[in-house]
Amino acid sequence: MWKYFTKENMEEYLLSNQLIDSKKKKDSLKRLYSISNNIHNNYKIFWIPKRDGTKRMIEEPLKNLKWIQKKIMQNILNERKISPYAKAFQNGISLKENVSIHMNKEIILKLDIKDFFHSITSSMVYEIVFLPSIYPEPIRVLLTNLCTLDNKLPQGSPTSPKISNLILRDFDYEVAHFCDLLQVDYTRYADDLTFSGSFNPKEIIHFVRKELQKRHFCLNEKKIRILKSHNRQVVTGIVINEKMNVSKKYRREIRQKMYYIKKYGIESFYQYQKKEKSFITKEQLLGKINFVLQITPDNLEFQKYRDFLKNKF
C-alpha cells in the first residue's frame, strides 16, 4: 500500500498532523528527527513515593517533546478506538462510572498488572499501535521512537495512557467474553482489573494470568484481593458497599495535612514534610481533595478545604 510513499509524502503527512511547524518546514523536520534520535536528552526523570513505601519512576518529556507527543495524541491516536471495558484515561468517563458497575455484588475480585507501562515494549507499540495497514514504515518507526524510551512506554508521557489502552484492547475483549459466560462484570482502570458477581475467583485468576502471559505481561500475585459483600469493598480507592465514598483513611490523611497548613501555614508544612521524608505539594493535595469531591460533591468539609487552598495560597 505504501510502496509509492515518497519522502515528500512523508513530510506532508507530518505537516498535516501538525507535528512540526509548517512555516519552517526544513528546520522543523530536522528538529523533529533530532529529538527522535536523541530521545534520552528530552526527558526529565524523577521518583515519587508509592503507598507501599516504594518509589515510582516518572519519565516526564521536556517541553518540545511533550508538545510533539500531545499532537500525536490529538491528531493521530485520538481517533483510534479502545475497548469499552477500559475506563481510565478517557474524557467523559470518571472513576464513579468504573466503580458503579461493581456496586452491591456478592464478590469483588481485584487484580493488578505488574509494572504496567514498563512492560509495554517498543516492539509492541510498533506492531500493535502503529500498524502497517495505517502508517507507512518510516512513520511507524518515527512515531514509535517519539513515544517510547529505553525500549518501553514512559510513565509520564501524554501518549502512554492511550497507547496502553490500545495495546490491551484485544485482552479486554477476551477477558470480557470469558466473564460474560460466567455472568461476571469486568472493567479495567489502567493496571487495575475489577470483576464482580457470584463466581469462583480462582477460575478468573487462572484465565487472566494465562491471557496476560500470552501478551508478555505479569499478574501481580501480591495484589490479588477477594472482597466479600459482608466486608468493606474498595475499588480504585472508593468504598462501594452501600454508597460510594472515599475511604476513612484517605480522608483522615487529608484532614491531618489541612490542620497543619491552617495552623502553621504552607511553608511550615513543606519544611515539616522534608523532616518526615515525605512530600506533597499544594497542587497534589488539592488533587486529593478534588478526588473526594468527585465522589461526594456535596461534602461541605472538603469544599472548604478546596476553597481555602485556592484562595489563601
Q: SS3 of 239, please?
A: strand
Rounded to whole angstroms, how far apart are CA atoms 155 and 149? 10
Rounded to whole angstroms, how far apart are CA atoms 137 and 131? 9
Please, are residues 121 and 151 in contact by the beta-carbon 8 Å criterion?
A: yes
Question: At 21, is the pLDDT very low, low, confident or very high (cuts 50, 70, 90)?
Answer: low
Rounded to whole angstroms, how far apart are CA atoms 90 and 265? 36
C-alpha cell read off for 4: 509509492
Look at 10-24, 147-161, 180-194, 211-225 and tell me which has the smallest mean pLDDT: 10-24
Report which of 120, 212, 216 is spatially closest to residue 164, judged by C-alpha positions. Answer: 120
Model confidence, pTM: 0.80
Phi and psi, residue 181, nearest 5°: -65, -30
What pLDDT was estimated at residue 65? Answer: 94
Whether pLDDT at 241 is above 60: yes
Instruction: Out of 25-29, 110-114, 277-281, give the one with best mean pLDDT.
Output: 110-114
Rounded to whole angstroms, how far apart are CA atoms 281 and 162? 27
Of 228 and 205, the structure prediction assigns the larger pLDDT to 205
Whether pLDDT at 276 is above 60: no
Of 35 and 274, the structure prediction assigns the larger pLDDT to 35
Q: Which stretch of DSSP H or E encloses residue 271?
A: helix 266-276
- pLDDT, tens only, 168-220: 999 999 999 999 999 999 999 899 999 999 999 999 999 999 999 999 999 99
Rounded to whole angstroms, how far apart are CA atoms 174 and 40? 36
